Amino acid sequence: MDFEKIIPERFRIHYDSKTGVWRILDTWHQQIKNISDLSISVPDDSPAMKILSDLELNSLIAHLDKIGWLDQILKKKIELKDLRIDMLSKPKRKPGRPKKNLTMLSD
């Protein structure tokens, strides 16, 4: 599963700093598939909505760290970021033209 693509497209995450609650909306859920404007309020008891407290989220992160997944996730993020930087920093050659060999020897 390509989380780089799926998570931003599928899930909308909102943190309420007053209550310390994270709301995660699954925008692909069947119950809300016909809602054209997701800015309207989806009730907390909707099956499309997942509620996590700060404690629950911190527990989840701690468990991911304990089983080694957090390192893998962070490593993948860094590798993807570095790859994007490499791709942006490499000069582009004109298509169809061979690379010139500047070290040709003459007879």
Domain-wise residue ranges, the chain: 3-89
pLDDT tens-digit profile of 77-97?
777 666 666 666 655 555 555
- DSSP annotation of 95: T
pLDDT of residue 56: 95
Q: Which of 2, 76, 29, 45 shows the shortest CA–CA distance to 12? A: 29
Q: Which residue has the higher pLDDT, 85 or 58?
A: 58
Residue 9: predicted pLDDT: 77
Between 60 and 9, whose confidence is greater? 60
Res 100 pLDDT > 70: no
